[in-house]
Structure 1
């Protein structure tokens, strides 16, 4: 039974990860080229929050109960988009620092090789 639930949950996760728009956007933002889009992506949270508010007002005025799921989904997507902004800035800072460290290391190695080749020529 647990194996069946495990398999079902992994397939659901795979489907949601692959086909849901916010998950696709978040995966694109988490790449090195996409880290700069984290802060603008936070602006996409506003339409999701407006949709959640709209669904809530429909529910309060006698709408069907399944709208609770849509309101919850909109809130969840808004939270994901709000969190990716600061997270992408932190990841971008870390990536830039790592790239700067690699550039310094390569520069030191090339300088060491150049000075070694000059020493062998002068000897």
Structure 2
């Protein structure tokens, strides 16, 4: 009699769990702040760094998530673009082992919430007055 041995059963910590977290972007509170640009960073590096650090995927969705407003209007209502009818938001998706998925989601959330805090930029060249020379 032969046994078809597959090995020991997997431990609960090795199960992969998929979780999605949604964060709203306060566009109504700060209408002139460029949240998408702040989240992406130069050449998308800020978002890439969040993904590399946490192992989570980050998606910017909703109205205003596409750079070209005309293109966004054409895509609105098409299959796969239903999110364009919703307010601007972020989806953080983690497909990780059960023992770390919540920690990584929390880590990504903290980083993104920090990026979403509007900062007041002061242009030092505009506020600097050059004295008149005689």
Q: TM-score, normalised by structure 2?
A: 0.29
Q: More relative contact order in 1 or in 2 (CA 8 Å, sep 6+)?
A: 2
Structure with the higher fraction of residues in strand conformation: 2
Larger radius of gyration: 1
TM-score (norm 1): 0.31
User: Greater helix share, 1 or 2?
Assistant: 1
